[in-house]
Amino acid sequence: MLDFPQWKRIWLWGLTLVFCLAAVPSLFALSGQKYPEPLAKIYDQSVNLGLDLAGGSHILLEAEPTQVAAQRLETMEESVSAAMRRADPRIRIGDISRREGRLTFMVENPADVDRARDLIEPLTTGAGLTGQRDWTIQVVDGQRFVIAPTQAGIDQAVNNAMETAVEVVRKRIDALGTREPTIIRQGDNRIVVQVPGLQDPGELKDLLGQTAKLEFKLVDVEAQASEIQEGIARPGSQIIPGAPGSDFEGSAIAVKRLGGIKGDTLTDARQSFDAQTNEAVVTITFDSSGGQRFAKLTRENVNRPFAIILDDQVLSAPNINEPILGGTAQISGGFTVESANQLAISLRSGALPVDLSVIEERTVGPDLGADSIEAGMLAMGVGSMLVIVLMIVTYGRFGVYSTVALAFNVLMILGIMAILNTTLTLPGIAGFVLTIGAAVDANVLINERIREERKRGRRVVAAVENGYKEASRAIYDANITNFIAGVLLFLFGSGPVRGFAVVLVIGLFTSVFTAVVLTRMWVAMWLRKKRPSELVI
């Protein structure tokens, strides 16, 4: 057990030095010193500091549940219209009304009522475990349908929308290149977003304040300019205002309400430049289904204008000169390179299912974090010194080995965190101190076992070997349970709790490695070289 061949010693020392050297940039960063430029060209990866240590942006987003209900109503209208249109033979219905939050329409032929109901019922589903349907269907006056959402259905839709919104927000923030953001759903319709290191929340607000709901709709060329100006939409049409910076800024345009294409079939969006005007544009790519629908729309409407609508505002309304095949299209609208890139990020992340408004905005300064780091370093330094003195006084040479292993343990944790690009938070510092305690505890356990073996009369080598063997079992058992706890904290925790879990799990591996493996190698080398007949421990 105390046999350490040359290759094994080289491998252990190499592993230790790699992780320790990886910690050097982090030591400069934590101490506030500038990392030397020549070294930065070789390696400059350091641990990230969390919001509580480095400061950053905190915003609270809120969604409006009534908007979700309105969207469901619009989706149901499109589904009902499509179902009636595709029926064979077609079921003819009158105009659909969406007044008072419900759909009403007349079936022209009373004989088609049962057939229409059979087509509508599959469009409704159960609302979770409530036992209710998400829509109610009634037929009044013999041929008039009334389709109304249930409260259970609305609640489920709001819950689904908020879960999707959290994921979309997370994707957008990740695209900014920020690390370890905290994104937590709060209550039924709020989301807390904290981004460490981002001192200007403006960029974050612009990115998250954009729903990125992209639509392509045919322009209603029969609408009169006077009607559009007065905001009067013809049946089957709707008035859409122009987006700021577009050719339609300050005016509006009439488009066909149904029959367009939504951006939910996008697979990619990139900022690019128009080949003719050199203006910043966004090039989008549809999936196969979206590409076919887009090709069909443009093929059937050549020489007609269609509007590109983003978040219910018209960006542009180009003419379809020829069918657009291949599943790619270009969005223009007076973009700058930055705004086009931001829109591309939003489109790639997917549209928010509901508008999110910023109701609280706060910039967290790094002052508190600097104080916390200083206090943490002071506590760690004082604690480590006391431990070092105690270990050396109590265990002599073996105490020296333990304290050196302790130093390597701290450096290795920092180095691994830097390599893994993880974030150090205030709870993470607590995890740091906790793992140092675990490492010291492991060394105490080993040394005490060796001392007991000597008292039993075993020879020096046998006492050391049995001491490490017996103590290692207890150390592994204890750390396995801590490892399980750390993994569970990481999986089910968020933000600072995850930061604590990351440091804890990394620290468990390094503390076992340094306290058990490294010290055993050093002790074995000393025993092989000196061959002592007695141990002072």
**Euclidean distance between CA atoms 387 and 382, whole angstroms:** 9
Q: Is pLDDT of 416 > 90? A: yes
User: Are residues 175 and 344 in contact, defined by beta-carbon separation less than 8 angstroms?
Assistant: no
Q: With respect to residue 348, please indicate whether it lies within any of the assigned structural domains.
A: yes
Q: Does residue 198 lie within any of the structural domains?
A: no
Q: Domain with 95 in it: what CATH number?
A: 3.30.70
With 70 as the cut, is the pLDDT of residue 128 above it?
Answer: no
pTM score over 0.75: no
Give the residue from 333, 363, 393 where a domain finishes: 363
- For residues 385 and 524, membership in a common domain is answered with yes
Record the tokens describing residue 103, joined without a space. Answer: 């759909």
Q: Based on the fold, state whether residues 266 and 409 are members of the same structural domain.
A: no
Average pLDDT over residues 121-125: 86
Same structural domain, 359 and 412 = no
Q: Give the span between the Cα atoms of 71 and 195, in whole angstroms.
A: 30
Percent of the chain with pLDDT over 90: 12
Q: 3-class DSSP state for residue 290?
A: helix
296 plus 355 within the same structural domain: yes
Domain assignment present for residue 160? The answer is no
- Cα dihedral 14, 16, 17, 20 in deg (nearest 10): 160
Q: State whether 33 and 125 are in the same domain.
A: no
pLDDT bucket at 412, cuts 50 / 70 / 90: very high
Q: What is the full DSSP assignment across 417-464? A: HHHTT-EE-HHHHHHHHHHHHHHHHHHHHHHHHHHHHHHTT--HHHHH
Residue 340: which domain range? 210-363
* 433 lies in the same domain as 526: yes
> How crowded is residue 169: how many other Cβ atoms within 10 Å of its Cβ?
22
pLDDT for residue 415 is more than 90? yes
Residue 32 DSSP label: T
Q: Indicate whether 181 belongs to any domain.
A: no
Q: Is the pLDDT of residue 510 over 90?
A: yes
- For 456-484, how does the pLDDT look when each residue is reduced to its tens digit (9 = 90+)? 888 888 888 888 988 988 888 888 888 89
**pLDDT, tens digit, for every residue of 171-191?**
777 776 665 677 888 888 888
CB 2, CB 464: distance < 8 Å: yes
Highest mean predicted confidence (pLDDT) among 52-56, 218-222, 371-375, 445-449? 445-449
Rg (CA), the chain: 33
347-367 residue pLDDT tens = 776 677 777 888 888 777 666
What average pLDDT does this structure show over 142-157? 88
Residue 239, domain member (yes or no): yes
Q: Which of 480, 502, 507, 475 is nearest to 489 (CA)?
A: 502
Instruction: Please give the tally of structural domains in the chain.
Output: 3
The structure tokens 């421990």 sit at 537
Say whether both 370 and 347 belong to one domain: no
The CA distance from 312 to 239, in Å, is: 10
| Residue among 173, 175, 193, 176 nearest 184 (CA) | 193
Cβ-proximal residues to 62 (8 Å cutoff; 6+ apart), any chain: 189, 190, 191, 356, 357, 359
Specify whether 377 is located in the same domain as 524.
yes
- Is residue 467 assigned to a domain? yes
Is the model's pLDDT at 214 over the cut of 80? no
Q: Are 286 and 267 in contact (CB under 8 A)?
A: yes
Q: What is the dihedral of CA 442, 448, 450, 454, to 10 degrees?
A: 180
How sure is the predictor about 518, in pLDDT bands with cuts at 50, 70 and 90? very high
**Are both 517 and 381 inside the same structural domain?**
yes
Q: Residue 229 sits in a domain of what CATH number?
A: 3.30.1360.200
Q: Give the confidence band of 130 by pLDDT, cuts at 50, 70, 90.
A: low
The pLDDT, as a whole number, for residue 367 is: 61
Q: Is residue 129 part of a domain?
A: yes
Q: In this structure, are 133 and 270 located in the same domain?
A: no
Candidates 489, 505, 432, 379; CA nearest to 23 is: 432
Q: How far is CA 385 from CA 84, 410, 440, in A?
A: 80, 14, 12
In sequence order, what are the residues at sequence separation of 6 or more whose Cβ sits closer than 8 angstroms to the Cβ of residue 425? 49, 50, 51, 52, 53, 180, 495, 496, 499, 500
Structural contact between residues 303 and 319, judged by C-beta atoms closer than 8 angstroms: yes
For residue 277 the two structure tokens come to: 């005007």
CATH number at residue 503: 1.20.1640.10
Note the pLDDT of residue 440: 85
* Tokens 């030095």, residue located: 17
Asked if residue 298 lies in contact with residue 261, where contact means CB atoms within 8 angstroms, the answer is: no
- Does 16 score more than 90 pLDDT? yes
Token representation of residue 190: 């709020």
- How far is residue 425's CA from residue 52's CA, in Å, rounded to a whole number? 6
Peptide bond into 36 cis (omega under 30): no
When mean pLDDT is compared across 168-172, 298-302, 339-343, 526-530, the lowest value belongs to 339-343
More confident residue, 467 or 293: 467
Instruction: pLDDT band for 252, please (50, 70, 90 cuts).
Output: confident
Q: Could you tell me if residue 172 is inside a domain?
A: no
Are 375 and 517 members of one domain? yes
Mean of the per-residue pLDDT values for the chain?
Answer: 82
Domain boundary among 314, 342, 363: 363
Per-residue pLDDT at 514: 92
pLDDT at 4: 79
